[in-house]
Every structure is written in C-alpha cells, then in structure tokens.
C-alpha cells in the first residue's frame, strides 16, 4: 500500500508528521514525499526542511493521497502542477486525506463541492466558499474523502485511517507505540471553546503567516 | 533564544516535530537542526528525511538542547561526537530536553544519575540502569532537565516549556494555533493501562526496530 504525502514551500511540519508517524507503522505501508522536484522543502518556520524524493508530475497511482496545510497553502493554491497532481491522484486513490487548511487545496482542485469536511478553525469560511459543508469535528470521513481539523488533528485522523485499513487492534497498537495518551498541560476543550481574545490574537498571527514566509531565512 | 535539535540516523520524526512545532511558535525562538554533518538525516522509516544545517562539533551555546528518541538511539549511544556534544551543551544550556528513549542518550552522556525523569514506556528499565528515578508522568521537570514520555508526548512537553518561557497565555495561544485538543479515536488512558497482550506485541516490534533500520531503503 502506497501513501503519497505532498509537500510545498511553507507547509506546517506537524500537519505532515502527525499523520506520517501513524501511517508509517501500518504493516506493508510505503510512504513517499512528493514536491515540485526532489530535494529539501522548507516548512513554514524556514528552519525545518523535509526531503522530497519524487516530483508532482511523476506521481503515478497511490492508495492514500495525503495533503497537509500550512501558511504556504495561499501560494500553493496557484501552483498548477500541484493542483493537477491532486486532481489526477484523487480521481483513483482509495483515500484522499486533507489536513488543516490543506483542505483548501482539495477545494481548489475541485474536490469539495457538496462534500462534508472539517478543516482548521481559521479556514472554515474559505472551505465553505468551495461549496463544502464544514463541520467542527476533529476528523470527518465521507466516502473516499477524509479530512482533519488543524495541525495536530493529523494524528487522530491517521489513527482513524489506520483503524479502517487494519482494524482497531492495529490502531491501538500504533497509539501505544507513539504513546498518544495526550495530557495538554493547559487544558483541553475545542478551538470554538477558547476565549474570544485568544482566538482573535491567533487569527492575527495566522493572517500574517504568508508575509512571514517571504521574510524567512532558510539555512539549507 | 536558540533551540538546537539533535538528529541522528533512525530518529523518530514525531519525537522531533511535536516539540519543534510548539517551540517554533514561541516569539523570538531560533531553531536549528544538528547532526554529524549538515544534510539530510533519515528517520526510522527511511522514507522521511530531515535537513540538518549544523554539525555536532560546530555547536556553540544554546538555550534549549532538544534530544529526541527513536530506534536509532541504540547505535547513537556509541556515537562519541553526539554524546560529547550533549555533555558540552547541557553543561551550560538553561534547558535540556529529552524525549522518549532519547532520555537514554542523556544517560549515556552522564546526565541521569540521581535525576527524576520520564521516558518511553519501553525504555524505563534502561533509564533506571543509569541511576535515574523513572516516573510515569507525561513530562517531568527537575531543574534545568525536562523529560517527556514516548513520541507524541513531545507536544505536551514543549507546551509546558512554552508556558515556562512565555507564560500560560502564550502556551494556550500555541495550543490553539496547532489545534491541540486531542480526540484519540480509540480511547485514552496511559501506556500502563493498556492490555498486556497489546503491550507485549508492541514490545516485540520495538525490540526488532534496530534490525529494521539496517534493512531499510532510503530514497534521498
């Protein structure tokens, strides 16, 4: 079984690695990282670079197409090679997974109209503009489409997928292997339940994220 | 403020990226990835490669020394350049962070005797052999030493650290930014609370991990 994870400049690393870490532990799974060209791709911070081994245009069939998000999504929505890769692969892949605002890339590739999805708290309006029914769950499956909410939801989303692929015992074994028994030190809840002042502050940071991308230094 | 994240062949990606994603969002934080030499370093699966921009031997002072774990720890415990880097940096760094069985590297570098730590469920005995008092919490701080349990505990551990560095409001803002309101689809609990059969099965996989490293294909 092959999982192709798409990378683009300014992706958010935990969107990728939360899901990767779970899926890499599914027996028989082969993972590949795909970008405009093979080589390092810079995450949003600029400090972290992930290696791609394949190019969008060379991608053949896969079983799981995995599309992360990040501040780089704004520019990636104009990347024709990436969007055409998504549309082509999603047409036949048994699973298409969108995480965080990576769900917007699925929308730009024409995959969201009339579909029930979740996405990053701060990307819900944009997802609705593609004609999607946006819900606030941590992960949502509709047929071959599986979407996850923000960033760290990639872990929960991929555990659900592991359960679908190999059963609940496998998913629980992977959960134990990655010790996913979370204990957030500053409380739990949901994005919606956070104080409005906090949501406004984070919204402002998110809005400036694309500008920060342009200003960052990449050391590799 | 500078955070130096050490990489070595066969690290576990979520050990690194869970903490990285939180710390990268602390204002004023500079992160660098450090390995034997600059260039790509392969995670345990072989499919994922993270770029290092600095070499162990070139590392000067840092504020946070961050040591992840993974199946590669077994071999890394014989890596004199890595161990000497850990010992040198930890002598002056305000924070030394060990995640998962990366805590054993701190032990090999002489930092665990008499210290209260946590570590991966499957690494507790080895940590005790270094004279540490091993507890089962998700993260433990003792002075300048901060340790986290397995893999995904890197997120909780780094959120605690973000709170220490910038206060609870900052930590809560980062938690919202990465939407860390976990909802594991197959239940919660602790490693200790899992069925013995499941623990035995995962223990067997963990024991074979070092052999799997030698057999893997690295596509970059």
What structural domains does chain B harbor? Answer: 2-215 (3.40.50.880)
Q: Are A32 and A24 contacting, i.e. CB atoms less than 8 angstroms apart?
A: no
In whole angstroms, give the CA distance from residue A94 to residue A132: 20
Q: Both tokens of residue A11?
A: 């992706």
Report the mean per-residue pLDDT for chain B: 97
pLDDT digits (tens, 9 = 90+) for B146-202: 999 999 999 999 999 999 999 999 999 999 999 999 999 998 899 999 999 999 999
Of A163, A185, A194, the CB nearest to B163: A185
- pLDDT confidence of residue A166: 97
- pLDDT confidence of residue A187: 83
Nearest-by-CA chain B residue for A157? B185
Chain B residue numbers with beta carbons less than 8 Å from the beta carbon of A185 are 139, 156, 159-160, 163, 171
User: Lowest-confidence range among B32-36, B44-48, B68-72, B210-214?
Assistant: B210-214
> Can you tell me the mean pLDDT for B12-16?
98
A149, B179: Cβ pair inside 8 Å? yes
| pTM (two decimals) | 0.98
- pLDDT confidence of residue A119: 98
In whole angstroms, give the CA distance from residue A214 to residue A69: 17
The answer on pLDDT for B103 being more than 90 is yes
pLDDT digits (tens, 9 = 90+) for B132-143: 999 999 999 999
Between the two ends of chain A, the Cα-to-Cα distance in Å is 32
- pLDDT confidence of residue B210: 84
In whole angstroms, give the CA distance from residue B137 to residue B119: 9
- Hey, CA dihedral for A37, A42, A43, A44, is it positive or negative? negative
Of residues B4 and B188, which shows the higher confidence score?
B4
Choosing among B184, B190, B217, which should be mutated to test the A contact, i.e. which has the most A CBs within 10 A? B184
- pLDDT confidence of residue B158: 98
- pLDDT beneath 50, residues of chain A: none
């Amino acid at each position: 079984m092959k999982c192709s994870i798409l990378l683009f400049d300014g992706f958010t690393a935990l969107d990728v690695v939360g899901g990767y870490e779970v899926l890499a532990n599914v027996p028989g799974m082969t993972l590949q990282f795909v970008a405009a060209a093979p080589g390092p791709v810079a995450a949003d911070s600029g400090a972290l670079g992930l290696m791609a081994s394949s190019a969008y245009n060379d991608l053949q069939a896969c079983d799981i197409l995995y599309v992360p998000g990040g501040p780089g999504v704004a520019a990636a929505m104009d990347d024709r090679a990436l969007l055409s890769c998504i549309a082509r692969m999603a047409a036949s892949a048994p699973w298409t997974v969108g995480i965080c605002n990576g769900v917007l890339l699925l929308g730009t590739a024409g995959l969201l109209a009339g579909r029930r999805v979740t996405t990053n708290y701060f990307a819900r309006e944009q997802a609705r503009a593609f004609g999607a029914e946006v819900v606030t769950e941590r992960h949502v499956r509709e047929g071959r489409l599986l979407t996850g909410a923000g960033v760290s939801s990639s872990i929960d989303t991929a555990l659900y997928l592991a359960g679908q692929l190999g059963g609940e015992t496998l998913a629980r074994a992977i959960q134990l292997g990655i010790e996913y028994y979370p204990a957030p030190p500053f409380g739990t809840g949901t994005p919606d339940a956070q104080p409005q002042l906090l949501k406004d502050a984070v919204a402002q940071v998110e809005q400036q994220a694309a500008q920060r991308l342009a200003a960052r230094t990449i050391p590799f």
